[in-house]
Amino acid sequence: MAGKSRWADTEEDAELEAKLKRDKEEKKRLKAEEKARKAAAEAEWEQKRIASRAQQEQALATEPTQHTNSEPATKRRRGKATDEDSSTGESSAKLLRFEAPTWKPTASVENYDKLNDIEEGTYGWVARAKDLRTGKVVALKRLKLDEAVNGAATSRAGLPETGLREIQILKDCSHRNIVGLHEVVLNDAAASYSNTNRKEPIEAVFLVLEFVEHDLKSILEDMAEPFLASEVKTLLRQLGEGVAYLHAHWILHRDLKTSNLLLNNRGQLKIADFGMARYVGDPAPPKLTQLVVTLWYRSPELLLGASTYDASVDMWSVGCIFGELLAREPLLQGRNEVDALSKIFELCGVPTEESWPGFRRLPNARSLRLPSSSNAPAAVTGSMIRAKFPLLTAAGCQLLNALLSLDPRNRPSAADMLRHEYFTQDPKPKHEAMFPTFPSKAGQERRRRRETPNAPGRGQKAPASVDFSGIFAGREREERGGGFSLRMI
């Protein structure tokens, strides 16, 4: 190319040819420049798009019901806008690929054949059902709709926030110790119209869950012999693993209790019932609802009106469940908030400024009349856990005491708990496959209504002020039972 053309036999020709060549080269250069400019513009546009996506993601993540990702949302595309960069562009584009929303008609509950009711509770029902397409047995959980909306059967029919959270969180979770959600289905009419402009009222929303044979509460109620120490360890470890997964993903369950823990016939424990769960950030939002967690599993800071709390409320419930697995009955069966607190103080000791610095600043603690730490006998401020569980090993007692620390800051995290020596000491946790099997209540035609308390409903009010003046005094004046006589004003 660079050599003289064999056709250029005159100087003029040669000059013309050289000019043509220059023109051609100039054109080529301009073309390359144009290409580079285009690529740069494209890269800039791409960066802007990524940045705005990242902003959107961040905005979503800070919204209370949204998933807060612990990973940085995006990685900006660095690099020059040249063709050679397309390989690096490709690799960063891989990192930045977002799942496009897919819209498809919601499936109908008609695809399922109900086999039997498992539980009919305050908030809806759960039934065992068969997927007619695959023959697989599943659990159908019908979510309660807002009454006003449901009653009026308007086209505005919708789910309460709790239902939406339950769906969202279960959809995001994938862990062997968390119940699996297969799909969400609607009543037939709503499902068949969900992909058109016509608005049929949604009468019911169902979660299609993996079917699990038992819940721990039913097992504990029915079993002839208590769990062995090695079995309690396996169950607690699985609970810890599930809770550690939730907390690592910024999810607080806020209603951990034995009826929300399922156990299959292969000894696997699964955390269920995410009706009270929510995403939180770090630090947790300043105003969370205090009315969470079923009374018997509710932590002292919640009972004292704390509105900032964190994963340690779940760890308190884990402590209550640990005690219940050992004792075969709920550990702290308070009749109301005040009774619940007095039962906690009876078991764990009365809080002092040393054992729980700053607890007096909690809203309901202001009216709390407790023995002052200087003159309180150790019997009142000390824990009774050792005495209540004489068969528990020293490590087990230490762990239970730690989980039931009055001061939430002293409770171990789920990850800490799993590293506790209790799990490595003898007796070793029993292998799941060696777990005993139990007759499944959920597999039988049976309706149960439980008399045990439920998680607080929305709009329920916490007690405004509490009089604890009688605590640990005048036991002889108590009207009945072994609790303390406390009054609510």
Judged by the rule CB under 6 A, the positions of this chain that interact with ligand ADP are: 118-119, 121, 123-124, 126, 139, 141, 179, 209-212, 215, 259-260, 262, 272-273, 275, 442
- The pair of structure tokens assigned to 396 is 């087990």
Q: Which of 83, 85, 188, 255 is catalytic?
A: 255
Which of Mg ion, ligand ADP, none interacts with 442 (beta carbon under 5 to 8 A by kind)? ligand ADP
Q: Which of 257, 406, 284 is nearest to 346 (CA)?
A: 406
Q: Could you tell me which stretch among 111-119, 179-187, 273-281, 365-373 binds Mg ion (CB under 5 A)?
A: 273-281
Q: How far is the CB of 208 from ligand ADP (least distance, A)?
A: 9
Of the two residues 77 and 270, which places its CB atom closer to ligand ADP in the complex?
270
Q: Which of Mg ion, ligand ADP, none has residue 166 at its interface (CB below 5 to 8 Å by kind)?
A: none
Q: Enter the tokens of residue 191.
A: 């499902």
CB of 444 to ligand ADP, least distance (A): 12
Q: Which does 215 bind (CB under 5 to 8 A by kind): Mg ion, ligand ADP, none?
A: ligand ADP
Q: Which span (4-12, 233-241, 268-276, 399-407) binds Mg ion, by CB under 5 A?
A: 268-276
When CB distances are held under 5 to 8 angstroms depending on the partner's kind, the choice from ligand ADP, Mg ion, none that residue 139 binds is ligand ADP
Q: How far apart are CA 220 and CA 432, in angstroms?
A: 17
Indicate if 255 belongs to the active site: yes
Nearer to ligand ADP, 206 or 211 (CB): 211
Distances (CA, A) of 356 to 349, 468, 484: 11, 18, 21
Tell me the closest approach of the beta carbon of residue 478 to ligand ADP, in angstroms. 33
Q: Nearest approach, Cβ of 243 to ligand ADP (angstroms)?
A: 16
Task: Tell me the closest approach of the beta carbon of residue 413 to Mg ion, in angstroms.
Answer: 24
The count of other CB atoms within 10 Å of the CB of residue 323 is 21
Q: Which does 212 bind (CB under 5 to 8 A by kind): ligand ADP, Mg ion, none?
A: ligand ADP
**Residue 294 contacts Mg ion per CB under 5 A:** no
* In contact, 417 and 401? CB cutoff 8 Å: no
Helix crossing, 312-327 with 229-248: angle to 10°?
A: 160
* Type of residue found at 223: M
Smallest gap from Cβ 141 to ligand ADP, in A, equals 5
Measured from the CB of residue 331, what is the shortest distance to Mg ion in angstroms? Answer: 18
Min separation Cβ 323 and Mg ion, Å: 19
Q: Of the listed pieces 271-279, 298-306, 390-398, 432-440, which binds Mg ion according to CB under 5 A?
A: 271-279
Among Mg ion, ligand ADP, none, the one that 190 touches (CB under a kind-dependent 5 to 8 A) is none
Query: Which residues inside 323-352 make contact with Mg ion, applying CB under 5 A?
Result: none
Burial tier of 230 (Cβ tally within 10 Å: 0-12, 13-18, 19+): middle
483-to-35, 213, 228, 476 alpha-carbon distances in Å: 82, 36, 29, 11
The backbone region for 253, taken as left when phi is positive above 0, alpha when psi lies in -120 to 50, beta otherwise, is: alpha
Indicate which of ligand ADP, Mg ion, none lies near residue 17 (CB less than 5 to 8 Å, by partner kind): none
Q: Strand order in 181-186's β-sheet?
A: 112-121, 124-131, 137-143, 205-210, 181-186
* By CB under 5 A, residue 405 contacts Mg ion: no
| Site membership for Mg ion, residue 273 (CB under 5 A) | yes
Separation between Cα atoms, residue 268 and residue 451, nearest integer Å: 27
Q: Select from 193-201, 244-252, 259-267, 391-399 the region that touches Mg ion (CB under 5 A).
A: 259-267
Query: Which one among 260, 299, 364, 485 touches Mg ion, defined by CB under 5 A?
Result: 260
Q: How many residues bind Mg ion (CB under 5 A)?
A: 2
205-210 and 181-186 strand pairing: antiparallel
CA 413 to chain centroid: 15
302 contacts which partner out of Mg ion, ligand ADP, none, CB within 5 to 8 A by kind? none
Catalytic annotation, residues: 255
Judged by the rule CB under 5 A, the positions of this chain that interact with Mg ion are 260, 273
